[in-house]
Amino acid sequence: MKKNLSYMESVHRDGRLWGIVVGLALLCFPLALSLIFGAAPNTDILLKGVIATAPMYWAVGIVEIFTYVPMLGAGGTYLSFVTGNISNLKLPCAIDAMERANVKASSEEGEVISTISIAVSSIVTTLIIIIGVICIVPLTPILESPVLKPAFDMILPALFGGLAVVFISKNVKLSIAPIALMLALFIFVPALNAGTVGIMVPVGVLFTVGVARILYKKGII
């Protein structure tokens, strides 16, 4: 007799399955191009590139699992890893949805709401991209206008700023240390820029968890 899986068991089963499918699909694209155009990469150069970059991505991937699962839940994390844009889209969307519903990601309600919000954001993003591809040519002069450029540069800061106000106001004492760390890093380490946000988010989360534990032990929070 076929065993009826619980919700969480089905989440893990489907999450692993689609993670493998997406991984294979990503590998199939460059392989297909290589076969179609007969342009196989140089093995030595490819290995050197993999050796130079893979350890960083392995480390980030491991850290992100421990970082995002407590915030997004299992279902939300699987779906986010498959659809991408976690730190600048899926994470803010899921956190805001759970905040409005007054649930935590560790609860069954939080699991469901996080997964639904990430799924909806993925669908909306896909539709917007489709519209953007269709309209990109007529809208290019407007989008490249010097008048609008400052606004586009401030989209991410505005998004995270709005979320920051909500969470900082909940526990001002806990927010001081991570804010100080991130400001110091981005001010005094020129190599850090908008492209490193995906890496710095897990770093900031781990640092905040460590600080929170210390403050909790000292009875400050």
Which domain does 34 fall in, by range? 1-40
- With b for 16 or more beta-carbon neighbours within 10 A and e for fewer, the 47-77 pattern comes to eeeeeeeeeeeeebeebbeebbeebbbbbbb
**15: in domain:** yes
pTM of the model: 0.63
**25: in domain:** yes
State what percent of residues in the chain have pLDDT above 90.
3
Predicted local confidence at residue 158, as pLDDT: 77
Task: Report yes or no: 207 and 181 within 8 Å, Cβ to Cβ.
Answer: yes
Tokens of residue 179, six digits: 């804010």
pLDDT digits (tens, 9 = 90+) for 187-201: 887 776 666 666 677
Q: DSSP of 22-50, one letter per residue?
A: HHHHHHHHHHHHHHHHT-PPPHHHHHHHH
Tokens of residue 119, six digits: 């799924």
Of 59-68, 134-143, 146-155, 187-196, which range is least confident?
187-196
**92: in domain:** no
- Which ranges in 84-148 belong to alpha helices (H)? 91-101, 108-143
The number of helix segments (H) and strand segments (E) in the chain equals 8, 0
**130: in domain:** no
Phi, psi of 210 (to 5 degrees): -65, -45
> What confidence category does residue 176 fall into, taking pLDDT thresholds of 50, 70 and 90?
confident
Among 186, 187, 177, smallest CA distance to 208 is for 177
**30: in domain:** yes
**36: in domain:** yes
With residue 201 as reference, give the H or E element that holds it: helix 197-217
Predicted local confidence at residue 195, as pLDDT: 62
pLDDT digits (tens, 9 = 90+) for 58-77: 777 777 787 788 888 888 88
Task: Report yes or no: 98 and 132 within 8 Å, Cβ to Cβ.
Answer: no
Q: How far apart are CA 139 and CA 32, in angstroms?
A: 33
Of 8-12, 96-100, 140-144, which range is least confident?
140-144
Into how many domains does the chain fold? Answer: 1
